[in-house]
Structure 1
Amino acid sequence: MVDPTPDENDNIDTTDERQGDQHDSARHRGRSSWTRILLSAAGILLVVGGIWVGYLMTEQRPTVVGLPEHAVTPSKVADGAVRVRAESPDGITASIDGEPVPVRVRGGEAVLRPGELEEGEHDLRVELKSGSLPWPQSLERRFEVDSTAPEVKTPETVRAESFSAPVTVQGTAEGAAQVDVSGRRVDPDGSGKFSAKLSDPPATVTVTASDRAGNTTSSEVRVEVDHPGMRAVHMSGMAWSSAQLREPVLRMARNGKIDTVQLDIKDESGEVQYDSGVPLAERIGADKGYYDAKKAVEQLHGLGVRVVGRLVAFKDPVLAEAAWKSGNRQQVVQTGTGGPYNGGYGDYSFTNFADPVVRDYNIDIAVEAAELGFDDVLYDYVRRPDGDLGSMSFAGLNTTPSESIAEFLQQTRDRLRSHGTFLGASVFGITVNRPESVGQNIPKMASYVDYVAPMIYPSHWGSGEYGVADPNNEPYKIVNRSLREWQRTVEGTGSEVIPWLQDFSLGVEYGPDKVGAQIEATKANGINSFLLWSPSCQYTEEALTASP
């Protein structure tokens, strides 16, 4: 049998199958391309969307500044220290502990002003409404408010061997992160104790302790140097220029009966007794040049004698008249109606202790005296006029007269300390228990001077003071009893008492017995120092004994 010949149609069917396979393959390739295109497009959209969402989530999210990790003070939060930064701060709202907080937009920031917050922990929530998202951006912060300042304990005074000797200031500052002692940072230990050695201490060391929140507490420590003491006599500038009056004083010094001479720098007439270089003294004609201050100091130092410069502060007719006539009436004590206060002293008699120019003028003269070699500056008339306080006016006074005068003494002491010069203040005897009589509060003043010099002249006490019937005739009793109170009054201030004693006759004749009785009464109170006052600058040498 012969195999059948292949049919033509068989060939056609085979070709169709091949063509069909080719078409299926083409269709498959087309579907794959579209899939790839769609997948690529979806990927791009996801990336773009992710970038867009990421942009919105990061760039638009608000951030808070002004809230450190540690606690903050109530005042810092209340004063607008807490701020919120965002691209569009106008849409920011805030709440603390669920209560809305006023928000003010300033300089591209939203400033929060919640007012004073109580001490303790608080919750802050900030929201920023966005037009690009259906929900607001928000953040939450927990923070702590601390209003408790560190507790600082320091001694009131520390003693130094001399003005140039180092001192160590110690204390405790409970709750403090750091302590500043006169500009020097000191880190307290775990119990709050600190110690700082100062090689060149000022008259008053300020100790400031601060915690991490910013609460601070300050304390002042006075650096005290023991005064060497004095047995002194007063000499005006004119008296020192007179050989007749000067030589007896030099003789007493050579014989060891006195160890100090007090020379006037500026007296109650307002005249500077030597040729001063202080510009204001020259401008108003106050410097008179009655004696050569530098030469006098050198001469006395050559004898081993200390020199105290007496500086009358606020009874100053020269400055007062010059100030009034030049239109600077605020420098003068005035009446309630605006005229110059007289009070029995004469017009233009008292300058205003609260005025900065008046203060600087006196301090400049004190510093000049220190530079000339004076060992002490002893203020006199460092007070207001006596009389009814209601009849006087002090321009610029924003506290009591006694507080203002004590502040003036502190300013002077700070300036003199670098020159190694002691500071004293002559005061009325009655001010020991009548502090507001002339604006001399003794404990306040004593805190800022090395010694107070009460004028306890027996002739100046009234009958019956301290139980003494006739003080002028009983100098021992009145000096002894008044000094007891003076010693008690300055106790704890770091100041000493060096009294002015009377070597003149006023109603009762004073000679060696009565002058000597005052010196003995002073010694009975443990005080071996005194200043003798004689308006004539002539002294009872017989009342003085040579030092052993």
Structure 2
Amino acid sequence: MRRNGQRIGTWLCAGFAAVAVLTACQGEPEAPLEFAGPEDGTLFNADTLGEAAWEVSSDDGVPETVGFVLDAHAVDADRDAGTLRWSPDTLDDGEYHLAVQRTPVETDDEAAEPEVLHEWRFAVDATPPEIELISPDSAVVAGEPVVVAGTTEPGAAVTVADQETTADQDGGFELELTDAPEGELQIVAVDAAGNSSDDAFTLVTVPSRVEVDLVRSVHVTPHAWATPSFRERILAMVDDGIINSIALTLKDEGGRIGWNSEVELAIESGANEGVYDLEETIAFLHERGIHVAGRIVAFRDPKLGPWARDNGHLDWLVQTTDGEPYTGRYECCFTNFSHPDVIEYNLAIAEEAARAGVDDILWDYIRKPDGPRANLVLEGIPNDEPLEPAIIEFTRLADERLSKYGVRHGASLYGIAADRPTQIAQDVPGMSQYLDYVAPMIYPSHWGPGEYGVADPNRQPYDIIDATLQVWKAQVEGTDTRIVPWLEDTTYRAWDRPHQVREQIRAARDQGVEEFLMWDPGVRYTPDAYDTIPQGRDE
């Protein structure tokens, strides 16, 4: 509070009717009024407003006709023998005009106006600035600079990791951290009024990253990658410019994990094979500019299944109506894709791979086992309810879990799922809400005669790929979900293998699909069948 030294001499008779003046004016003049308060034009925040006070004082006391008026409305003030004092409790944000007025004594002059003796203008901004972080929105590569950008109140001072900047006239701010530590970082914004907001965000780092616009990938098993002769053939395909990615199996159809995972259930169930070192493998591939899609076979799991059965977790398994583990045509067992522990196991493996730097997670066997729905019992899903929603929910949970790592994820889906979703519990439009891409398995050798109007799909690879992709494109229309089809380069039913591979790639391209995942369980591909990736389209 400051006293501004302004004094106004007044007379006891001021403003009185003429008769009263004749009597009262014979007295001495009253002591002058003094005004004290914050400096004119002060901007208050919530804390400083609570400490603010404005006063009118006089040695002879402040007349009852003198009071405070805020924006033309009288306010209650504390009055004692020599002082009139007003302190606001709270005020909405905005600009204010505070005046000291003398109210005229009643006279015959109805037009008499209050006399303004003193006035202040001030503003209140008690609202802390909001902070919205725009970047980084996912993991960053360790050791590389990271740009922290977002919006807040215009003109606010923003501090992150001891670096400071000022938000522009639109509230935007941006600063670069040259060596940001992994973990929680504080971001603080202080506006012109001194209001402060702080927010914490977790900066996730990955060892390295390779991004490609168009994925051209081949399937590689753990043992093939660990075998020098197989590995060199794959790397030669990259060097020749015909592929830019490998779909490295992380967890296979046998429930086996290719590296020594630290996930507790992987250790307890004996799933770890330790065929390769995951972090070293990712680093090696990334150094050569090779994108890595980590393939995880989720719910067909002959490792976790028997362990669950033997350890009293039958509810982790798809069961028969007799309460036995359902096998169908699979070895034990098919796990329950609606059970939280089964879901967590698969997501934990995927997250471990994401932390190691895998660029994509490619789910496989996220479906029900073959067989009629009536023969399958999944605890947690009533027997009369469909199974598709549980698979969709898994893709949502996976998307949520992986998003902070900047990892894309896709799903290998049955070719028939596009127009026969209930046969395999794969609802393509529903899953596409949460997947970055779908990978339909549309191998020509797997279609029967007459499918999609193609008399002999295996002998007509162009026609069957062309026809199936038309159906799949309709399923993802209106979304940003890509189609990255599984094609085949196998010996199975191959009558002219290079020709069959070329025709599949050509048919996909003619449908506007320039990406592919190529399948050969034996990991023996035919490089002569592949086109060179167009320059400028792979990175």
- TM-score under structure 1 normalisation? 0.59
Give SS of 2:247's match: strand
Identity in percent:
41
Contact 2:135–2:150, Cα closer than 8 Å, also in 1 = no
Q: Which amino acid aligns with 1:382?
A: I
Partner of 1:292 in structure 2?
277
Post-superposition CA distance 1:458-485 (Å, at most 9, x none): 0111111111100000000000111011
Q: 1:356 aligns with which of 325, 340, 350?
A: 340
- Are 1:460 and 2:446 matched, yes or no? yes
Q: 1:539 aligns with which of 525, 532, 539?
A: 525
In the alignment, structure 1 segments of 5+ residues that lack a partner are 1-158, 170-195, 200-225
Contact 2:238–2:244, Cα closer than 8 Å, also in 1 = yes
Separation in 1 of the partners of 2:258 and 2:452?
38
- Are 1:311 and 2:291 matched, yes or no? no
Partner of 1:301 in structure 2?
286
* Residues paired across the two proteins, number: 338
Q: 2:213 aligns with which of 225, 228, 238?
A: 228
Contact 2:137–2:404, Cα closer than 8 Å, also in 1 = no
Structure 1 vs Structure 2 CA RMSD = 2.5
Separation in 2 of the partners of 1:335 and 1:227?
44
Q: Which amino acid aligns with 1:354?
A: S
Separation in 1 of the partners of 2:150 and 2:503?
42
- Are 1:279 and 2:264 matched, yes or no? yes
Q: Which amino acid aligns with 2:480?
A: G
Separation in 1 of the partners of 2:450 and 2:149?
46
Give SS of 1:335's match: coil
Partner of 1:86 in structure 2?
none
Return the offset for 1:493: 2.8
Q: Which amino acid aligns with 1:515?
A: V
Separation in 2 of the partners of 1:353 and 1:197?
44
- Are 1:385 and 2:369 matched, yes or no? yes
- Are 1:492 and 2:478 matched, yes or no? yes
Q: 1:438 to 1:300 in 2, by over 3 A?
A: same
Q: Which amino acid aligns with 1:312?
A: V
Partner of 1:115 in structure 2?
none
Post-superposition CA distance 1:384-435 (Å, at most 9, x none): 1011111110011255311101101110111111001001000000111000
Q: 1:343 to 1:542 in 2, by over 3 A?
A: same
Partner of 1:180 in structure 2?
none
Partner of 2:319 in structure 1?
334
Contact 2:294–2:358, Cα closer than 8 Å, also in 1 = yes
Q: 1:502 to 1:160 in 2, by over 3 A?
A: farther
Partner of 2:409 in structure 1?
423
Separation in 2 of the partners of 1:389 and 1:361?
25
Return the offset for 1:512: 1.3
Separation in 1 of the partners of 2:310 and 2:378?
17
Q: 2:397 aligns with which of 405, 411, 417?
A: 411
Post-superposition CA distance 1:6-25 (Å, at most 9, x none): xxxxxxxxxxxxxxxxxxxx
Give SS of 2:413's match: strand
- TM-score under structure 2 normalisation? 0.60
Separation in 2 of the partners of 1:528 and 1:295?
30
In the alignment, structure 2 segments of 5+ residues that lack a partner are 1-133, 140-146, 152-170, 175-210, 535-539
Separation in 1 of the partners of 2:268 and 2:484?
35
Return the offset for 1:506: 2.2
Post-superposition CA distance 1:45-76 (Å, at most 9, x none): xxxxxxxxxxxxxxxxxxxxxxxxxxxxxxxx
Q: Which amino acid aligns with 1:234?
A: H
Contact 2:392–2:431, Cα closer than 8 Å, also in 1 = yes
Give SS of 1:294's match: helix
Q: 1:470 to 1:166 in 2, by over 3 A?
A: farther
Which deviates more, 357-366 or 275-284? 275-284
Give SS of 2:283's match: helix
Post-superposition CA distance 1:159-209 (Å, at most 9, x none): 99985799999xxxxxxxxxxxxxxxxxxxxxxxxxx9999xxxxxxxxxx
Post-superposition CA distance 1:119-159 (Å, at most 9, x none): xxxxxxxxxxxxxxxxxxxxxxxxxxxxxxxxxxxxxxxx9
Contact 2:246–2:291, Cα closer than 8 Å, also in 1 = yes
Return the offset for 1:542: 0.3
Partner of 1:244 in structure 2?
229
Post-superposition CA distance 1:54-111 (Å, at most 9, x none): xxxxxxxxxxxxxxxxxxxxxxxxxxxxxxxxxxxxxxxxxxxxxxxxxxxxxxxxxx
